[in-house]
Structures are given as C-alpha cells and as structure tokens.
Amino acid sequence: WIKETRGRLAQSERGAAEARLKLLQAQIEPHFLFNTLANLQMLIGSDPKRAQAMLGHLDGYLRATLASTRKDKCTLAEEFALMRGYLEILAIRMGPRLAYSIDLPDALANAKLPPMLLQPLAENAIKHGLEPKMDGGKLRVAASAEGRQLVLIVEDSGLGFGAAATSGTGVGLLHVKERLAAVYGDAATAEIGETEGGGVRITLRLPWQE
C-alpha cells in the first residue's frame, strides 16, 4: 500500500511539473508574438520588403515552435534553429544595432533539452541589455561540453549586470531555473554574471542526454 501510494504521489508530482512547464512557456511566448505583430504592422506601411522578410521568418519560426513545444525534449540542433529564426526576426527590427552569433559543435547537435529553454534568456538580453543601448551590440549563443555536462551560454554586450538586474532579467532567469529544476532536479544549474566587456552572461549546465 505504501509503495503504491508513493508511486501515485510521484506521478502526481510529475504531472504538476509538466503542467508548470507548459504554463511557463505560455507566459513567455505571447510577449514576443505581440511585439512582432506590432512591428509588422508598422513595417507594412513604411518598408514592405522588410515586412515581407519578417513575415516569412515569423511563419517558419511559429511552425517550428509549435512542433517543438509538443515534445517534452528537443535536440540542441532544433533549439539552435529556433534561436536563429527568432534572432533573424529581431535583426530585421533592430537593423545594424543587433549582431548575433550562434555556435553549436556538430558533436552536440543531438543532445536533448527542454524546448525553448534559451529564448527567454535571449529575449531578456535584447530587451534589457541591447535595445536600450544607443548603438546596440552583440548577442552570442553557444554550446559546449564539460565531461557529461552540457554548457549553454547566452551573453550580450549590452548595458551590463546592474541594468539587467533592475529591469526584469531576473524574472526570465527564474523561469529557466524552475524549468531546469522540474526536469533535472539538482543536476542542472543556471548562473548569471558579467562579461569582460561589461555585458551579461548566463550559463546553464545540465546533463548531456541523447
């Protein structure tokens, strides 16, 4: 009886964790979508070619996102493809004020992780670090391995840790920490720090699963 009760409790906890992951994703996605639609509306009248390019990227991004969020895990290749589509949309909006780089070694392409884990970090980096900066800056997304751990980095050359800490980056990082804890428990970590140039770097460490 005790064993059966524990099994039911564990199943209930897993169900609650999965529901919380879906809720966290739902909290993140509409903000980006509504902002993009507002930008599209503006560009349609002022720059139809850019509007058409943005619409094409948005269509591809939403299709890939829908497929990704129907799964509990995605590959790093899929996650980085989503990131590239997301950043292409923002690069159209910001123009030369946004540069970005994405570094995914081939050996890590099939590693598994929760879908859309990196987007809220990139979104915060741009919103709070790069957009308010007069000349913008660069966003870097990179993956590497340390033993059997994946190391994922999202860093910017924006306004810096002080500005980010007081303007909302902590909320996005908290969401990511909660998702990592729900999936990996204590086996995953998320840390925030400064880059050499004064921007913000967020480092995620999680088990390497294929």
Q: Which two tokens mark 40?
A: 């599209």
In whole angstroms, what is the distance from residue 57 CA to residue 89 CA?
6
Name the residue with tokens 């609650």: 16
The answer to whether the beta carbons of residues 165 and 148 sit under 8 Å apart is: no
pLDDT at residue number 65: 75
The residues of the chain scoring below 50 in pLDDT are 27-28, 164-166
Burial-class residue 127 by CB neighbours within 10 Å (0-12, 13-18, 19+): buried
pLDDT at residue number 93: 85
DSSP annotation string for 45-86:
HH-HHHHHHHHHHHHHHHHHHHHHHTSS-EEHHHHHHHHHHH
- Angle, to 10 degrees, between the axis of helix 76-94 and the axis of helix 48-69? 160
Residues 36-80 have pLDDT tens digits of 888 888 888 898 998 899 888 888 888 877 766 677 788 999 999
pLDDT at residue number 164: 47
- pTM, two decimals, is 0.78
Q: Which two tokens mark 131?
A: 């957009």
DSSP annotation string for 155-205:
EE-SS-HHHHHTTTHHHHHHHHHHHHHHHHGGG-EEEEEE-TTS-EEEEEE
pLDDT at residue number 139: 96
The answer to whether the beta carbons of residues 61 and 89 sit under 8 Å apart is: yes
pLDDT at residue number 60: 83
